């Protein structure tokens, strides 16, 4: 690894709390602009890896859809800002209904929730009298359906990090997409940098032209990598790359960048990111993915892709075992 690549990984690991600790899960979520939770246990893994405790974690964060239609756990007070990036996107085509009719369904869902109906299963039964099974399936899909639209407008969110039911909330966006982007981009590059405009656009799920035209970029430092500009904040004492690091499934260290090969060698990509899109928990040695880990039937499992010293193997297994003890009864 050349010196520039090493410096980029070192700075990213520091920004993402992989070479330092964050003791509060809400603060961690705020710093990282949300914690990816396709599987809610990955939020617990990510928090423990970065030094947080798990007391009350299921209700400390709000689970909802943010960037790229992906579920995140975030601080409740952040919702009006973060949701503003995609509040204007109305996925009416998902439902096969005219816009006015789909909006009427959304309003009826809100009324039903006010009357105490919170689950998709109950909603399916209620709407079965009004629509054919295929439309009902689309409206209340396991992937979100009409709740994605309501969540993007800050009107609903999951009841807690582990629940499949929803609650009414009041987190309506108050900014335009452009206004929100100007506030979010400096925070993204402070934590995720050095990163490119394309990285930011990918992470936030917005058009890269919007990022490149942002005034926020003019306030940032940048370094060159080939023909690419990587934006960041002024360097400080960021410590060293840890010799051994556990990473959660969908860890932001891996999934937040267009080019991942510096941290995830291409020969290991298929073993880490499955055809289904699932990104497994991994083990990094000197900042580069070298294996995978998991908890299966509450037992620690560690698999390296190439031979590693005994001390590394034992340390990795001990850390996974500790995570297992920490999450026991909490997932």
Per-residue pLDDT reduced to its tens digit, 76-115:
999 999 999 998 876 667 788 888 898 999 999 999 999 9
Q: φ and ψ at 149, to 5 degrees?
A: -60, -45
The reported pLDDT for the residue numbered 22 is 96
Strand, helix or coil at 174? coil
Please determine, for residue 251, whether its predicted confidence score (pLDDT) is greater than 90: yes
pLDDT digits (tens, 9 = 90+) for 1-52: 789 999 999 999 999 999 999 999 999 999 999 999 989 999 999 999 999 9
Whether 264 is in a domain gets the answer yes
Count of structural domains within the chain: 2
Torsion (CA) 210, 212, 218, 221 in degrees, nearest 10? 130
Residue 208 scores a pLDDT above 80 = yes
d(CA 327, CA 158): 21
Q: Is residue 47 a part of any domain in this protein? A: no
Looking at 104, 128, 152, the residue that finishes a domain is 152
Q: How many CB atoms lie within 10 A of CB 124?
A: 16
Cα-to-chain-centroid distance, residue 282: 16
As a whole-number percent, the residues of the chain with pLDDT over 70 amount to 99
Range of the structural domain that residue 124 is part of? 88-152
> Does a structural domain hold residue 99?
yes
Mean pLDDT of 160-189: 96
Query: Mean of the per-residue pLDDT values for the chain?
Result: 94
pLDDT at 91: 67
Longest dimension (CA), the chain: 64
pLDDT of residue 105: 94
**pLDDT the model gives residue 89:** 77
Read off the pTM.
0.94
**Residue 237 confidence (pLDDT) above 90:** no
Assigned domain for 180 exists: no
Q: What is the mean pLDDT of residues 128-145?
A: 92
Say if residue 309 is exposed, middle or buried (CB neighbours under 10 Å; 0-12, 13-18, 19+): exposed
Beta-bridged to residue 231, according to DSSP, are 195, 222
């Amino acid at each position: 690894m050349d010196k520039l690549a090493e410096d980029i990984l070192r700075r990213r690991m520091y920004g993402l709390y992989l070479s330092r600790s964050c003791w509060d899960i809400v603060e961690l979520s705020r710093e990282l602009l949300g914690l990816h939770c396709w599987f809610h246990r990955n939020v617990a893994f990510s928090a423990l890896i970065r030094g947080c405790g798990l007391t009350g974690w299921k209700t400390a964060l709000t689970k909802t859809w943010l960037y790229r239609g992906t579920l995140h756990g975030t601080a409740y007070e952040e919702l009006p800002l973060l949701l503003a990036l995609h509040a204007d996107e109305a996925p009416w085509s998902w439902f096969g209904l005219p816009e006015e009719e789909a909006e009427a369904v959304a309003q009826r869902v809100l009324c039903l929730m006010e009357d105490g109906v919170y689950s998709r299963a109950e909603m399916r039964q209620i709407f079965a009298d009004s629509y054919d099974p295929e439309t009902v399936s689309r409206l209340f899909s396991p992937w979100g359906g009409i709740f994605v639209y309501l969540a993007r407008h800050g009107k609903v969110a999951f009841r807690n990090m582990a629940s499949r039911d929803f609650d009414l909330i009041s987190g309506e966006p108050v900014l335009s997409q452009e206004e929100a982007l100007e506030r979010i981009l400096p925070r993204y590059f402070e934590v995720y940098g050095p990163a490119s405009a394309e990285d930011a656009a990918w992470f936030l799920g917005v058009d890269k032209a919007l990022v490149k035209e942002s005034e926020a970029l003019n306030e940032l430092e940048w370094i060159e990598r080939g023909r690419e500009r990587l934006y960041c904040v002024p360097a400080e004492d960021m410590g060293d790359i840890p010799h051994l690091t556990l990473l959660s499934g969908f860890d932001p260290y891996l999934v937040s960048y267009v080019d991942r090969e510096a941290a995830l060698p291409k020969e290991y990509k298929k073993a880490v990111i499955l055809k289904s899109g699932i990104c497994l928990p991994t083990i990094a040695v000197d900042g580069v993915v070298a294996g995978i880990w998991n908890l299966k039937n509450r037992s620690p499992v560690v698999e390296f892709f190439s031979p590693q010293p005994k001390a590394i193997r034992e340390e990795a297994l001990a850390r996974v075992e500790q995570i297992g003890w920490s999450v026991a009864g909490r997932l």
